[in-house]
Structure 1
Amino acid sequence: MLESVRKQWKQILIILMLYAAWNVAVFLFLVRLQGFEVTVKQFGPGNKLYINAVHTVIKGTFVYYIMIYHFMIPLIRNRKWKVIALQCILFFAVLTVYEYIWNFFIVKPDPSSSDTSPKIFFITTAVLDGLIILISYFVATLITSNEMRKHKEELEKEKLRAELAAIKYQINPHFLFNSLSFIYTKTLKSSPEAAHAVHLLSEIMSYALDDWGELGTVPLAVETEHMKKVIEMNQIRFSHNLKIKYYEDVQANDAFVPVLAFVTLVENAFKHGDLNDEKNQVSIELIATKSKICFLVSNKKKSGPKEPSKGIGLNNVQQRLQLMYGIKHSFTIKEDENYYLNEIIINL
């Protein structure tokens, strides 16, 4: 929350400095073009000049901040033209009323001036509002493009770090798969279930080590398929005595998710959870619609000595979700003395 407030104030200060510099440049240009006395007369004599100048800078900063960060950037990201258009109309209507009151009732125009009639005021205001919209959209486009470029660079760096980590920790995949293939062949006749477990392990390892492109993402259905293989392999490992409650409701969905995101959460439950408590079963829920994916894993903690864990897997999942979806996702971790819960929500 504090970080968000700091970011907003930083944005306001940047616009304040830029807009103040712009107004000073315009004023100096007008002085050079038409002379100091004519320019001062336009802005107002004496203290009125300073009041108008300060008011213009503060008002302009506020207007451009609202237009850029609350209207135009959301418009570029979400393409909700009708909603943003209505908000802009209401905003400029309120702004026009405020400026009318300021100019004709607070500051009060010079009666001898021909540029202070309500008709001239509304025409000038309409033209300036149009310019504000165009400038705000242009600046918002630059900001959004820069954010996308930085986001892409972060993804590339994250992918490079992931590749380096894989190289550092993995056993030679060819040796691993050849060994698993040998074990599978030798155990197929004597223990079909053990052979099936080896086959599942081979497929899971192949999935984990495969190259899934620049972003490291896979279709939701593929991640779900291998998550189920992890569950099945652990059931074989513990003679089908694990207490697991699995629920799935997936509509037609072509969404992509970070590879091993769901698998990691399930593996953590098997590693740290009490897998034999009938009343507190490991709960795995996947609900996916065309607009949202919800994935939840909860478990009772097992008693006794805890297996060492550095939390690398969860941190990796969290970082990749943030890079992929930003504010369109949430990753919740809840924990107390007895229970542990992870929940991923992705808005598509």
Structure 2
Amino acid sequence: MSLAFRIKWKEFLVIFLIYGIWSVAVFLFLVQLQGFDKTVDQFEGGINLYVSFTHTIIKGTVVFYVLIYHFAIPAIMDRRWGKVSVQVIAFFTVLTIYEYYWTFFVHRSDRESAGNLSPDSFFITTTILNIASTVISYFVAVAICSNVIRRIKEQLEREKLKAELAAIKYQINPHFLFNSLSLIYTKTYKSNPEASQAVHLLSEIMSYALEDWGEQGIVPLALEAEQIKKVIQMNQIRFNNNIKISYSEDIQLKDAKIPTLTLVTLVENAFKHGELHDAKNQVSIEIMARNSKINFLISNKKRNGPKELSKGIGVNNVQQRLNLMYGSTHTFTIKEDENYYITEIVINI
């Protein structure tokens, strides 16, 4: 993230309140330790006391907000340590220049009135405070990220449970279903090999969909791609091998993973709503996984005439699962006009 960011006002106000209470507590501690007059004198008294105190709270709030929410958290969540380190150094450089100008030229009427504080002492003190602020911000960010990851896991569990309940609501007992499909496959193997093959593909796809893929429900990208090819093959059988499909894959990352049925859902959506018989406007499916990135692109021309009813649950579910799983490290883009529908997923691993 760059410094051109939108402020999260709730988090900013929380830091402001905490830092404000901390600053008041420190001031009262100093008063208790060395007396009111001496403490006030350190701030030069009068209006300077309020200006300096207000400046300290606002500056501290901004510093901790930026360090936590725009440096530490992105670095922890997205593993962008190198880029963030450069940004932190640049941030503290600008901050130190500002502090130097404020201390020796703005807050003090002249440099002599700065008391015993020399530029060397200023830079040493500022460096120590900057390091301390960075360390504190990092541990706060770790706590925030741990809480976010915990909530994401809980949300994924809830989504998985909802999906399982929905499957139970609409499915027949799987064992009965697979036994029935096996029977149909056996009976039609010789008399109608094409229909038999369709039953076999359906059985394999349903087995894949009902498999327990662990807590987060992620599978190897190559396995998801295999199911897409089965869906394509089934639809070719359904439409007498007359549908126009362009499919390509380049999966070089063998450990690339994807939430189960994410891509299959989008492919089925294209078959449901797309024009499948136009050779000039084929349904195009592209899967690529290389250079630490997964790209998935599917485009189709919209079908003319009556449309199948759809509540958009499939696409919304895909978006939600990707958001929970990958957060800011992915993009999900839908481009649509009167004639075409294009969906693209980019995931940075």
TM-score bracket, normalised by the shorter chain, equals over 0.9
Task: Output the CA distance in 1 between the equivalents of 2:151 and 2:298.
Answer: 32
- Answer yes or no: is 1:72 the counterpart of 2:72: yes
Task: Output the CA distance in 1 between the equivalents of 2:282 and 2:85.
Answer: 50
The more displaced of 224-233 and 167-176 is 167-176
Deviation of the 1:35 alpha carbon: 0.9
Partner of 1:249: 250
State the AA in 2 paired with 1:281: Q
State the AA in 1 paired with 2:158: K
| Structure 1 contact 110–116 (Cα < 8 Å) conserved | no
Partner of 2:315: 314
State the AA in 1 paired with 2:333: T
SS at match of 1:284: strand
TM-score by length of 2: 0.93
Task: Output the CA distance in 2 between the equivalents of 1:243 and 1:78.
Answer: 39
Residue by residue over 1:99-134, the C-alpha shift from the partner in whole angstroms, topping out at 9 and shown as x without a partner, is 111111112278577532223222222221221112
Q: Do the aligned partners of residues 89 and 268 (structure 1) sit closer, same or farther apart at CA in structure 2, a change above 3 Å counting? A: closer
User: Unaligned 5+ residue runs, structure 1?
Assistant: none
SS at match of 2:279: coil
Deviation of the 1:23 alpha carbon: 0.6
| Structure 2 contact 253–292 (Cα < 8 Å) conserved | no
Task: Output the CA distance in 2 between the equivalents of 1:239 and 1:66.
Answer: 60
State the AA in 1 paired with 2:238: R
Task: Output the CA distance in 2 between the equivalents of 1:112 and 1:290.
Answer: 58
SS at match of 2:8: helix
Partner of 2:210: 209
Task: Output the CA distance in 1 between the equivalents of 2:23 and 2:69.
Answer: 21
TM-score by length of 1: 0.94
- Answer yes or no: is 1:239 the counterpart of 2:263: no
Aligned residues: 345
Task: Output the CA distance in 2 between the equivalents of 1:155 and 1:290.
Answer: 27
Q: Do the aligned partners of residues 207 and 105 (structure 1) sit closer, same or farther apart at CA in structure 2, a change above 3 Å counting? A: same
Partner of 1:145: 146
Q: Do the aligned partners of residues 166 and 53 (structure 1) sit closer, same or farther apart at CA in structure 2, a change above 3 Å counting? A: same
After superposing on structure 2, the runs of 4+ consecutive aligned residues of structure 1 that deviate more than 4 Å are 4-7, 109-114
Deviation of the 1:199 alpha carbon: 0.7
Task: Output the CA distance in 1 between the equivalents of 2:82 and 2:262.
Answer: 36
User: Unaligned 5+ residue runs, structure 2?
Assistant: none
State the AA in 2 paired with 1:15: I
- Answer yes or no: is 1:56 the counterpart of 2:84: no
Percent of residue pairs identical: 64
SS at match of 1:190: coil
CA RMSD between the two structures: 1.9
The more displaced of 313-322 and 111-120 is 111-120
Task: Output the CA distance in 2 between the equivalents of 1:253 and 1:312.
Answer: 30
Q: Do the aligned partners of residues 235 and 140 (structure 1) sit closer, same or farther apart at CA in structure 2, a change above 3 Å counting? A: same
Residue by residue over 1:193-237, the C-alpha shift from the partner in whole angstroms, topping out at 9 and shown as x without a partner, is 211111111111111111111111111011000110010011011
| Structure 2 contact 105–111 (Cα < 8 Å) conserved | no
